[in-house]
């Protein structure tokens, strides 16, 4: 059983307090450190881990989900994956109380592990473009400088509200495309997932560049399809080179060279989009009023380099994560018709007719939709966990964790555990509502779970800066498709592609029967 030594409310209330705030706390920490077992004794498969990744080994062709399940099952709530071939050690932890400890002591500039291949590409090969490395690779003062510029723009609710009508327009166009693409059995094409990826890119283009990219329609040489393929392949190859033993840090292997070519193509596609948008904005005769300026225009007036890299990152990284979450939620609603109908009633309350437009005011009145989104994040999390570099010596699970250790807080495998959520594999959005409807479902309220066990967008200063926009896209997608169609699923459970991002994969043939009201 997990030991919850602090009540959730107190844990969050006291988050900002540091253990060094008083001498007594510092002395207690010193004593705890001295009494802890040394780092070298953390359970680990040792160097024999290499053989487990080889053909016939337990982790051959593994996924990040399977890897975490393996470590948790075999070693408990803490394990050390020894670095090989130039890689650093990584400590995997599976207790949310330890997550709280790491977050509470992450310091002024939280350190998050970047994708090493991406970092190498930007720092060594393409400094001409990435004069600022963006939020994906920066740490320390450079990260703070970048974040201090983008936070007021991307996390401002009024900025997000500017895009409600625009995202609704994109999504309604996708609805019409899918309406025509269905077969005689009202089933979507097998590659429906690619339609969703194009929708995600088109939506993100609207947000990041304040322009339409024109990638919704399926066509030859579609940049949307190419970028979605590149991002999916990039995450898969990065996972293989960085999460598994690999020689690329010592010898630049063919796979590493392939990854660099992928980064180059992603850079060229996204940069071309951004440069076109910047040129359009700069050629405008008169600037828009501040309250009407989009993300790119606002950032350009602060720092051109930051504006360029942030827009490129939004196009590249925001597509796969958003479309993956939307796929998961649509699938869960399709396989839970009672929940789907309950959500549809809520949607009908704001969209009495199909041609009713969405507004920011209407989007505020959807508690059940937001509960459904939270439940989808819990059952099918898009990321496996969060990584931090320790900013000071810590003690976790009775072991010494030296400053500078990479910690993987793998909460993605804990949210489907009966110890943390009752009826964990069932899709029960009611557990997130503020009323007592969870009691009728025979489940505990989600607030009774440890507050650090469910962190789909991260936590603290490094929480996902694009969270509000991602939620807007997903909410709009679900609203429009459930308003137009009764959605069902007639096939076996789809497979999950699990690398650094988790996503349903394979044929996604939903049955979409048109509603006549």
Residue 223 CA to residue 219 CA, distance in Å, equals: 9
Those residues with Cβ within 8 angstroms of residue 364's Cβ, 6 or more apart along the chain or in another chain? none
| Per-residue pLDDT reduced to its tens digit, 398-436 | 999 999 999 999 988 999 889 999 999 999 999 999 999
> Residue 18 — pLDDT band, cuts 50, 70, 90?
very low
C-alpha 98/C-alpha 171 separation (Å) is 41
pLDDT class of 16 with cuts at 50, 70, 90: very low
Stretch 296-300: mean pLDDT: 93
Helices (H), 210-253: 223-242
Closest listed residue to residue 79, CA positions, set 113, 33, 36, 45:
45
Name the pLDDT band for 4 (thresholds 50, 70, 90).
very low
CA angle 45, 46, 50 (to 5 degrees): 85
Task: Specify the pLDDT at position 288.
Answer: 84
Report the pLDDT value the prediction gives residue 149, as an integer from 0 to 100.
93
Contact 414, 96 (CB under 8 A): yes
- pLDDT digits over 103-122, tens only? 999 988 888 888 889 999 99
Would you place residue 222 in the very low, low, confident or very high pLDDT band (cuts 50, 70, 90)? confident
CA distance 301 to 282: 11
**Dihedral, CA atoms, 346, 349, 350, 352, nearest 10 degrees?**
120
**Could you tell me which of 237, 204, 272, 182 has the C-alpha nearest to residue 513?**
182
The answer to whether the predicted template modeling score (pTM) of the entire model surpasses 0.85 is yes
What pLDDT does residue 320 have?
Answer: 87
Neighbour count for residue 90 (Cβ, 10 Å): 17
What rounded mean pLDDT belongs to the chain? 90
What confidence score (pLDDT) does residue 490 get? 97
pLDDT-derived band at 223 (thresholds 50, 70, 90) equals confident
Handedness of CA 79, 83, 87, 89 (dihedral sign): positive
Per residue in 470-517, pLDDT tens?
A: 999 999 999 999 999 999 999 999 999 888 889 999 999 999 999 999
What pLDDT band is residue 25 in, cutting at 50, 70 and 90?
low
Q: Which of 95-99, 136-140, 207-211 has the highest mean pLDDT?
A: 95-99
Question: What gap in Å lies between CA 333 and CA 335, rounded to an integer?
Answer: 5
Predicted pLDDT at 385:
87
- Lowest-pLDDT range, 273-287, 394-408, 439-453? 273-287
Where do we find the tokens 């963006």?
A: 134
Nearest to 461 by CA among 110, 153, 133: 110
DSSP state of 132: S
In 3-state terms, what secondary structure has residue 91? strand
For the record, the structure tokens of 505 come out as 């994969």
pLDDT class of 9 with cuts at 50, 70, 90: very low
Instruction: Give the residue with greater pLDDT, 55 vs 180.
Output: 180
Strands 386-389 and 78-81: unpaired
Tokens for 118, please give them. Answer: 């991406």
Identify the pLDDT of residue 24.
56
pLDDT-based confidence at residue 20 (cuts at 50, 70, 90): very low
Give the tens place of pLDDT for each residue, 243-252: 888 899 999 9
- Distance (Å, whole) CA 503 – CA 507: 12
CA distance linking residue 381 with residue 387, whole number of Å: 15
Give the CA distances from residue 319 to residues 270, 324, 466, in Å, rounded to whole numbers and listed in that order.
12, 8, 11
pLDDT digits (tens, 9 = 90+) for 313-360: 998 888 889 999 999 999 999 999 999 999 999 999 999 999 999 999
Judged by DSSP in three states, 362 sits in helix
481 Cβ contact list (under 8 Å, min separation 6): 175, 330, 487, 512
pLDDT at 75 > cutoff 50: yes
Per-residue tokens: 68: 């975490």
Q: What is the mean pLDDT of residues 277-284?
A: 90
Q: Of residues 442 and 315, which shows the higher confidence score?
A: 442
DSSP state of 327: H
Lowest-pLDDT range, 217-226, 258-267, 359-368? 217-226
Cβ-proximal residues to 488 (8 Å cutoff; 6+ apart), any chain: 334, 335, 337, 510, 511, 513
Q: Is the pLDDT of residue 23 over 70?
A: no
- Per-residue pLDDT at 316: 81
Lowest mean pLDDT, pick from 287-291, 384-388, 406-410: 287-291
Whole-number percent of the chain with pLDDT over 90: 66
Neighbouring C-beta atoms of residue 134, cutoff 10 Å? 24
Would you state the torsion angle of the CA atoms of residues 475, 112, 380, 74, taken in this order, to the nearest 10 degrees? -170
Among 196, 218, 208, 209, residue whose Cα is nearest residue 320? 196
């Amino acid at each position: 059983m997990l030991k919850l030594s602090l009540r959730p409310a107190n844990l969050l209330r006291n988050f900002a307090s540091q253990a060094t705030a008083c001498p007594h706390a510092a002395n207690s920490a010193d004593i705890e450190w001295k009494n802890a077992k040394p780092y070298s004794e953390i359970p680990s498969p040792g160097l024999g881990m290499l053989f487990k990744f080889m053909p016939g080994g337990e982790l051959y062709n593994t996924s990040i989900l399977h890897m975490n399940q393996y470590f948790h099952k075999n070693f408990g709530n803490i394990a050390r994956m020894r670095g090989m071939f130039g890689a650093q050690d990584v400590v995997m932890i599976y207790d949310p109380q330890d997550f709280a400890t790491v977050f509470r002591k992450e310091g002024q500039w939280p350190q998050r592990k970047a994708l090493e291949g991406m970092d190498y590409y930007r720092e060594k090969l393409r400094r001409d473009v990435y004069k600022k490395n963006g939020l994906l690779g920066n740490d320390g003062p450079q990260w703070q400088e970048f974040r201090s510029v983008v936070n007021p723009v991307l996390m401002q609710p009024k900025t997000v509200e500017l895009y409600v009508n625009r995202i609704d327009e994109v999504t309604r166009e996708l609805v019409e495309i899918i309406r025509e693409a269905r077969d005689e059995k009202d089933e979507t094409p097998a590659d429906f997932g690619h339609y969703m990826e194009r929708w995600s890119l088109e939506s993100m283009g609207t947000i990041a560049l304040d322009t339409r990219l024109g990638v919704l329609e399926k066509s030859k040489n579609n940049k949307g399809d190419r970028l979605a393929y590149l991002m999916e392949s990039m995450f898969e190859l990065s996972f293989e080179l960085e999460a598994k033993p690999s020689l690329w840090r010592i010898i630049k292997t063919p796979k590493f060279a392939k990854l660099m070519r992928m980064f180059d193509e992603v850079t060229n596609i996204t940069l071309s989009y951004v440069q076109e948008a910047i040129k359009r904005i700069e050629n405008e005769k008169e600037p828009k009023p501040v309250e009407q300026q989009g993300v790119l225009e606002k950032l350009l007036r602060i720092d051109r380099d930051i504006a360029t890299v942030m827009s490129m990152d939004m196009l590249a990284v925001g597509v796969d994560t958003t479309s993956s979450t939307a796929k998961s939620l649509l699938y869960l609603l399709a396989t839970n018709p009672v929940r789907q109908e309950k959500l549809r009633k809520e949607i009908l309350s704001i969209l009495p007719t199909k041609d009713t437009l969405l507004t920011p005011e209407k989007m505020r009145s959807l508690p059940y939709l937001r509960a459904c989104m939270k439940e989808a994040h819990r059952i099918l999390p898009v990321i496996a966990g969060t990584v931090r570099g320790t900013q000071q010596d810590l003690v976790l699970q009775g072991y010494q964790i030296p400053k500078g250790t990479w910690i993987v807080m793998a909460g993605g495998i804990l949210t489907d555990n009966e110890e943390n959520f009752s009826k964990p594999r069932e899709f029960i959005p009611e557990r997130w509502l503020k009323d007592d409807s969870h009691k009728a479902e025979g489940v505990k309220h989600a607030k009774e779970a440890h507050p650090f066990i469910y962190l789909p967008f991260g936590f603290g200063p490094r929480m996902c800066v694009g969270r509000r926009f991602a939620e807007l896209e997903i909410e709009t997608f679900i609203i429009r498709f459930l308003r137009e169609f009764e959605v069902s699923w007639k096939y076996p459970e789809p497979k999950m592609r699990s690398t650094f991002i988790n996503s349903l994969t394979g044929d996604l043939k939903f049955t979409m029967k048109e509603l006549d009201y």
